[in-house]
Chain A
Amino acid sequence: MSNARSLRSVVALVAVAVLSLFLFGSAQAQDGEGEAFSGTLRFGGEPVEGVRISVVDAAGEAVGEAVTGADGRWRIELPGPGTYRATIDTDTLPEGVTLRDPERQTLEVTVTAGRSRPLIFALGEPVSRGPNVGEKLAQAVLNGVKFGLIIAMCAIGLSLIFGLTGLINFAHGELVTLGAILAWYFNADTFGAPLILAGVLAVVVAGAAGGGVEFSLLRPLRARRLGMFQFMVVTIGLSLLARHVMLLFFGPDRERYIDYALQAEWTFGPFAVTPRDFTIMALSAVILIGVAVFLQRARTGKAIRAVADNPELAESSGIDVDRVVLVVWVAGAALAAVGGVFFGSVEAVDWLMGFRLLLLMFAAVVLGGLGTAYGAMVGGLLIGLVTEVSTVWASPEIKAVFALGVLVLALLVRPQGILGQRERIG
């Protein structure tokens, strides 16, 4: 075995030596020994005869040409190493035979000393090439709006809870996961309910869970005047607790809902969207507008904004702050759960989805202005757009990096956020 190998390397060495003799002795390369282009033209497995291929050197001087034989083979000897351009004459192709990629009619190839380079002119039906940058950008913007709307919906509760009570809720992501996982249980696992019904049930349960946490845990702790740090630790504890309970029951795998899993896309010009995603975007927009109208017009909505603006003043003018906070917890948790069901429907359901989303929600609320609902909406949309549009140029794995980039930029330029008030920051 080793003898055979060393013999082979001796032969190779001799071959190299002979070749370099040819080169440095400026001897004309013999047929089959020097630099060359070669190839075989086939169409549908059959060789193609009588096609002319020509080669020019870097200066544009013709070097040689060849016509494919009955076996489809062709070969053009080259004067030496260097860069050459080989062109296939498409007029000589038989009727009905075309290049698979019309832009690859001329190939520019560098040849090293002594090498015969095979060239491939692929013949066949033109395949659709990947979308160009403009089309990718359009699709990324659409995806960005889709995820942005979902992030915004999830983040409203986070931002309002902070605005009302000064609490950064590290467990907010788990409300998103809770909604998604409950909907999966109702839809795919045991009950087989249609996804819409399952989603509504999940949102109701998640809203009740949010209200329960506020009513039975956080309100009594607020009465004992715990510091901001202690509240953060409480929500971190809740987050660890909830996340790992869900891991215990749901398991570490990614799951999908049964309904609307596979759909044909609708195309509008450069945009392609499944009916499911389109519905999700429309519903998200309607819900966000509904929240805005509620905050502007409804009595409770006005009370929420009043407490977010100045809790002491609101309380002294007769607003029941505890009730307002409870409403925000229930509504915020329900919105997060809606976001979770949508997100689970668009991608997949897993036990870490909310925690991953939490960082994007943080970025969104800081960007938009911590403590305001509209800030969360604007920030969410922006974060969604930035992360998705970045995938046009950068690897999708690092799209969250761009969200942080925007966050840091915003903190440097306008730390109170786009819609935040100046006095909110220290």
Chain B
Amino acid sequence: MDFDIIFGNAARAGLGPQAAIFALAAIGLNLHFGYAGLLNFGQVGFMMLGAYGTAIVVATWGGSLWLGIPFGLGLCVAFALALGIPTLRLRSDYFAITTIAAAEILRLLIRSSPATDITGGPFGLQAIANSFFDLNFLPDGRFGWGTFSYSSNQLWVMIVAWILVVLCSALVLALIRSPWGRVVRAIREDEDAVLSLGKNTVAYKLQALVIGGVIGGLAGVIDALQQSGVGSENFEPQVTFFAWAALILGGLATTVGPVVGAVLFWFLREGVESFIRELSEQGWLPNALADFLDGAEGAISVVLMGVGLVALMALRPQGIFGRRRSLHLGT
């Protein structure tokens, strides 16, 4: 059992582009729920629109990537408005149900055969990120050492992704400290009180939904860039749950929570999967158990994630860095 390999894989995943993508998605969710009290269970829909909007402009319509990214983010704004206007007046549990359903329905539409001409249907779209990698000023070759060895383009994606994470965290922090942020947080605590001050609470919630959704869309854009393509199987409802898990792990309504949570989430997930892979290759395990473990690391890590979520809620519901004060949000 080689713990160096396990730890190395885990750390590589915790620093990798996937962690940055989840950090962005969780930053958006944090604005939605941690600050504005909106139970968005359809964050993956925003990611999907960001990714597919970009890819469709480039791969289907032959446009520029620099038009595609704003188009994808524009779709996120439209989705937020279409989702928010009918449902934000309702109670938060209705909003949760509508968002999860809307995101999955969107995915079914994107992968359906009538949409194949535009979205590539079940095959997705490829070769979209050339202009992004043309901007890469890093020299060719490998960087780093051992497990942490990256190609020039991998490093370029990671640098851009983590810079975006920092920028979005700063943006949300600035927003939350602004007068706008005070109103939004007040709505989370007591919407009736804010209404009585003459504030249009639905408009504020809608703005929060749009901003958090666009940050989620940015996560999707980075995902599309780092794979240089999109596929509908990357946007299953599970992704939203994983982003929530990352956010809860790090702590709601904190600035670093979503980022730390995403890093931890990928560190733990890859660590568990590596551990199981290593374990299944050990000679001393009974054959039946080794066969069972072989190739099952993905499912087992999700099982453990489920156990972890239940245990976290039972033992430390505010998350690792969360404050107990923000426990009864959105109830």
Contact = CB atoms under 8 A, between A and B. Distances in A.
| Residue of B91, B307, B317 with most partner-chain A CB within 10 A | B317
Contact of A229 (B33, B237, B299, B308): B33
Nearest to A352: B236
A227 B86 contact: no
Contacts of A403: 105
Nearest to A235: B310
A245 B299 CA distance: 7
A366 B94 contact: yes
B299 A247 contact: yes
A397 B108 contact: yes
B308 A248 contact: no
A237 B306 contact: yes
Given A226-B317, A248-B300, A411 B94 contact: yes
B97 A168 contact: yes
A162 B108 CA distance: 27
Contact of A241 (B89, B98, B310, B312): B310
Contacts of B113: 395, 397
A233 B248 contact: yes
Interface in A232-256: 232-234, 236-245, 247-248
Contact of B112 (A226, A228, A370, A395): A395
A370 B94 contact: yes
Q: Is the interface of B mostly helix, strand, loop or mixed?
A: helix
Nearest to A410: B86
A404 B310 CA distance: 29
A144 interface: no
Interface residues of A, number: 46
Contact of B306 (A242, A359, A363): A242
A229 B329 contact: yes
A400 interface: yes
B313 A239 contact: no
Given A234-B313, A400-B108, A415-B90, A228 B101 contact: no
Contact of A228 (B109, B114, B330): B330
Interface string A368-409: 001000000000000000000000000101101101100110
Nearest to B82: A408
Given A226-B313, A236-B244, A237-B307, A362 B101 contact: yes
B101 A404 contact: yes
Given A238-B310, A363-B101, A415-B94, A230 B300 contact: no
B303 A228 contact: no
B222 interface: no
B314 A234 contact: yes
B93 A248 contact: no
Interface in B203-259: 237-238, 241, 244, 248
Interface string A208-230: 00000000010001000011111
Interface in B53-91: 86-87, 89-91
A395 B113 CA distance: 8
A403 B112 CA distance: 16
A425 interface: yes
Contact of B98 (A227, A229, A234, A407): A407
A229 B38 CA distance: 11
A426 interface: yes
A403 B330 CA distance: 27
Contacts of B5: none
A242 B112 CA distance: 28
A229 B39 contact: yes
A412 interface: yes
A64 B244 CA distance: 74
B102 interface: yes
B309 interface: yes
B140 to A, nearest CB: 38
Contacts of A404: 101-102, 105
A259 B257 CA distance: 53
A426 B195 CA distance: 13
B306 A168 contact: no
A162 B313 CA distance: 19
Contact of B109 (A227, A231, A248, A398): A398
B97 A362 contact: yes
A166 B305 CA distance: 24
Interface in B280-331: 292, 296, 299-300, 302-303, 305-310, 312-314, 317, 327-331
Interface of B: 33, 39, 86-87, 89-94, 96-98, 100-102, 104-105, 108-109, 111-114, 237-238, 241, 244, 248, 292, 296, 299-300, 302-303, 305-310, 312-314, 317, 327-331
8 contacts: A227-B331, A229-B39, A230-B327, A404-B102, A411-B98, A425-B91, A426-B90, A426-B91
5 smallest CB-CB distances across A and B, nearest first, come from: A241-B306, A237-B309, A426-B91, A240-B306, A237-B310
Interface of A: 162, 166, 168, 217, 221, 226-234, 236-245, 247-248, 355, 359, 362-363, 366, 370, 395, 397-398, 400-401, 403-404, 407-408, 411-412, 415, 425-426
Given A227-B331, A412-B86, 10 more contacts: A168-B97, A229-B331, A234-B310, A234-B313, A236-B241, A241-B306, A244-B300, A359-B100, A400-B105, A408-B98
